[in-house]
Amino acid sequence: MNQAIETQNLTLSYGNSLIIDDLNLQIPKGEITVFIGGNGCGKSTVLRSIARLLKPKNGAILLEGSAISKMSTKDVAKQMSILPQSPVAPEGLTVLQLVKQGRYPYQTWLKQWTEEDEEKVTNALKATAIEDLKDRPVDSLSGGQRQRAWIAMTLAQDTDIILLDEPTTYLDMTHQIEILDLLYELNEKENRTIVMVLHDLNLACRYADNIVAIKDRKIYAQGRPEDIISCPLVKHVFGMDCQITMDPLFGTPLCIPFGKGRCILKEVGI
């Protein structure tokens, strides 16, 4: 299978704090890969490193077989886009101006703004349903609207590989599904490689072709959700007891966590 991204003996740290140790990871081309794991396990750190936002302490990252460290910033940006956690736009920047930033890698002294650039921006605004917000300042939007604006900028970049760190943050249930459906369609119809960090294990199972569970600075398990998601995995990776059943709509694993709460079964004597 062709790999869109590969890491070789990747070690990541913040100062003297080791986050990821000797990681060997393959991300399949043309699939949706989702990183899961507890808070602070290094999911976002791996994503930042792949996007060249964090320099590895050791090891290499390959993008379509080429060492990313030897590629120019613009060449990387034409192949791979990223939506980091909680991005911040300059004060007063409008939604349209933000989305247009996604076309920056394609601008040169000889090639300025084109009809193609305009089309990509328009399509990104439509895809995220924020056309009516295009003249609003980004900092005036609600959290969910702001997140959709940033995703639109990522889509306008028009890359084969899209990295997203918790793309459903600040979104209500309806907009979470809309965004994940949009990313699913980009994968299905355009064969885009999607790599995401998600906290919702059930949504990860529903949308992912490939799940990477990270624990103790390494990959604990990797594979199709139906092959790796189990009660022991959830217990070890998240420290939580649960029951795994089947999603009645999609047939994917469905995690039901144990814990306290109102129990109707007890109320009716079952």
Encoded tokens for 34: 């989702």
| pLDDT tens figures, 141-164 | 988 888 889 989 999 999 999 999
What pTM does this model have? 0.90
Encoded tokens for 128: 């995220």
CB 199 within 8 A of CB 166: yes
Q: How far is CA 19 from the centre of its chain?
A: 19
Q: Which residue has the tokens 């999609």?
A: 250
Structural domains of the chain sorted by starting position, each given as residue range(s) with its CATH number in brackets? 3-71+161-267 (3.40.50.300), 91-159 (no CATH)
- pLDDT over 90, % of the chain: 70
Residue count (the chain):
270
pLDDT tens for the chain, 270 residues: list them: 589 999 999 999 988 889 999 999 999 999 999 999 999 899 999 999 999 999 999 999 999 999 999 999 889 999 999 998 888 888 899 999 999 999 988 887 777 888 999 999 999 999 888 999 999 999 999 888 888 899 899 999 999 999 999 998 878 898 889 889 989 998 999 899 999 999 999 999 999 999 999 999 999 999 999 999 999 999 999 999 999 999 999 999 999 999 888 787 666 666
Cα dihedral sign, 171-172-178-184? positive
| pLDDT tens figures, 258-268 | 988 878 766 66
